[in-house]
Chains A and B, each alone.
Chain A
Amino acid sequence: MKTIAFGQYYPVQSPIHRLDARIKIILAILFIVCTFLCKNILCFAALIVAALFLIFMSRLPLGTVLRSIRPLIFIMIFTAVLNLFWTTGETPLFEWWRIRIYEEGIYSAVFMVVRIIVLVLGTGLFLTYTTTPIALTDGIESLLSPLRVIRVPVHEFAMMMTIALRFIPTLSEETGKIMNAQKARGVDFSEGGLIRRAKALVPILIPLFVSSFRRADELAMAMECRCYRGGKGRTRMTVPHLHARDFVALVVMVAFGAGILYLNRLGIGYSVP
């Protein structure tokens, strides 16, 4: 249980790893916007090139990156089929019984699939693969901090995230222990139907919950003993500073967005509405 991966973070040194977490969050959002701005074949080509460039820059092994798409295969096939059969155009390429496939349908199916792939790759490459969960939490806290003015408990939210991340390995280890303890008492987790298996989980969940509450209680006391009293008057050990590379990355992303908009206006080939 000690080998449990913390999120999907892939620890290598790369230009993307080195970027500031806040900038990466903004870049990821901009990149998502870009994927939705894409309308024609040139744009999507540019998007694919950008995604390949990101993979190259992140120094991640291609296999690891592509594996992140696997869980979405069903959604991709579903959207592709939907777009293929339901998009109407002028002249059908193929007609059989009540099924008509148009050129436009093929285009929009391909575009949708590319869009989904790039979307997942982009967020993964900017966020989960290249940013530690803790940096991500700090980044979110920092970006949301203006909301404090309207009394959103941003610090508390970030603290909860941090503690959750801290206790994932601890609780998963504990789950393993409880399961073993129940197995030793003859509980079978692998047989029976869905309902029986779900029922078998009850004797795991109850002790786990009870112990979590006890842990929470002790942790709260330990935190109080270490003078924790919320975000008020709190300083941080590492104050993130923006570097030139962060601004460069931002400028490149904005330029990419502008490029996409320009390519859209060229109006080459089929353009999705």
Chain B
Amino acid sequence: MAQPFIHTKDLWYSYREDDAHSTPVLRGISLDIARGEYVAILGHNGSGKSTLAKLFNAILEPDSGELTVAGTDLASPELTEDEIFALRREVGMVFQNPDNQLVATIVEEDVAFGPENLGVPSAQIRARVDAALAAVGMSEYAGSEPHRLSGGQKQRVAIAGILAMQPSCMIFDESTAMLDPKGRREVIETFERLNREQGITVLTITHYMNEAARADRVIVIDDGRVLMDGTPREVFANTEALLAAGLDVPQCTALVHALRREGVALTGEPITTEECAELICRALEVQ
């Protein structure tokens, strides 16, 4: 593996409300994420997962430890405004509330906001906006007003707004948490397609197990530390540790584990409903 896209080593961070009481939110996070990976970061509320995402985008500065994103040393005290600017065009971030990240009154104007800030020439902005809206399947809404769109559509516009900056990595900070199931599916399918087709590194921060199960890699954060790191299959096999960290397991995993406890012989760790159904069918055939 060449130089990882995101590298952290023993990363610490605490919110300082006053100097006396600063409880660390991140307590020594070490991980490497390669270019083009599709990673889900799991953790319950207050586990520090969102804080970690904000460090990756230089919204927050780490207290100590190593933090390198896209070749920029974010832990360096000499980090300049221009370096942060350059980093943010590489690493885009989509937030939780779709209403609070759209700036303009017209969809295409909003998508153009990022490239406009980057100083891209007008003709190119047009091309980028059209391409970004097409990539998220929102071309027909180019002239709409954001407040007339559904939550999922607004979130896709927000993704297009980041995409138009042509980043190599996109971080989704609980971007599906406020959406209905349909909107959630729209957003997930959009970023999975971007990961597959455009090779964009996707980091999705979530507490939905079924969402995390779709990623190539799952990192579980608990109490500011990396609890588990591996493929969804590996991580969800360890049901007890997940439950101890205050997290759920995907429904199918829970079902298989419950069956196994009752003495049903099931081999394998299903993470999708189809796999689970197949596994149970096979077990029934054997019986």
A residues in contact (CB < 8 Å) with B: 2, 6, 132-134, 162-163, 165-166, 169-170, 173, 215, 218-219, 221-229, 233-239
Contacts and interface: CB of A to CB of B under 8 A. Distances in A.
Contact of A219 (B101, B126, B162): B101
Contacts of B206: none
B97 interface: yes
Interface string B98-120: 01111111101100111111111
B15 interface: no
A227 B164 CA distance: 12
B27 interface: no
Given A235-B121, A235-B125, A237-B129, A226 B88 contact: yes
Nearest to B148: A2
Contacts of B113: 223, 226, 228
Contacts of B105: 6, 132-134, 162, 165-166
Nearest to A3: B148
Given A6-B145, A225-B59, A237-B129, 18 more contacts: A162-B105, A166-B146, A169-B145, A215-B99, A215-B100, A218-B97, A222-B100, A226-B88, A226-B113, A226-B117, A226-B161, A234-B116, A234-B117, A235-B115, A235-B119, A235-B121, A238-B122, A239-B122
Contacts of A169: 145, 147
A229 to B, nearest CB: 7
A134 B116 contact: no
A134 B106 contact: yes
A235 B122 contact: yes
A114 B156 CA distance: 51
Contact of A225 (B93, B120, B145, B147): B93
Nearest to A218: B100
A6 B105 CA distance: 10
Given A134-B104, A134-B109, A225 B88 contact: yes
A237 B122 contact: yes
B59 to A, nearest CB: 6
A132 B106 CA distance: 11
A170 B116 contact: no
Contacts of A218: 95, 97, 100-101
A2 B59 CA distance: 34
Contact of B59 (A173, A219, A221, A239): A221
Contacts of B59: 221, 224-225
A170 B57 contact: no
A236 B104 CA distance: 13
B89 A170 contact: no
Contacts of A219: 100-101, 103
A212 to B, nearest CB: 10
B136 interface: no
- Interface SS of chain A: helix
Contacts of B120: 235
Among B103, B120, B122, max chain A CB count under 10 A is at B103
Nearest to B162: A226
Interface in B16-73: 57, 59
19 contacts: A162-B103, A162-B104, A166-B105, A173-B147, A219-B100, A219-B101, A221-B95, A222-B101, A222-B158, A225-B88, A226-B113, A226-B162, A227-B118, A228-B117, A234-B117, A235-B120, A236-B122, A237-B126, A238-B122
A24 B115 CA distance: 28
Contacts of A6: 105, 145
Contact of B89 (A215, A227, A236): A227
A237 B116 contact: yes
Contact of A166 (B97, B104, B165): B104
Q: Pick from A132, A222, A236 the residue with the most CB of B within 10 Å.
A: A222
A170 B129 CA distance: 24
A225 B108 CA distance: 18
B6 to A, nearest CB: 16
A133 B105 CA distance: 9
Contacts of A228: 113, 117
Nearest to A221: B59
Q: Top 6 nearest A-B pairs by Cβ distance? A: A222-B101, A237-B112, A218-B100, A169-B147, A237-B125, A227-B117
A105 B102 CA distance: 55
B224 interface: no
Contact of B165 (A133, A224, A227, A235): A227
A228 B112 CA distance: 12
Contacts of B99: 170, 215
B92 interface: yes
B147 A234 contact: no
A234 B112 CA distance: 11
Residue from B93, B97, B105, B108 whose CB has the most chain A CB atoms within 10 Å: B105
Nearest to B93: A225
A71 to B, nearest CB: 25
Residue from A2, A226, A236 having most chain B Cβ neighbours under 10 A: A226
A104 B120 CA distance: 62
A157 B180 CA distance: 36
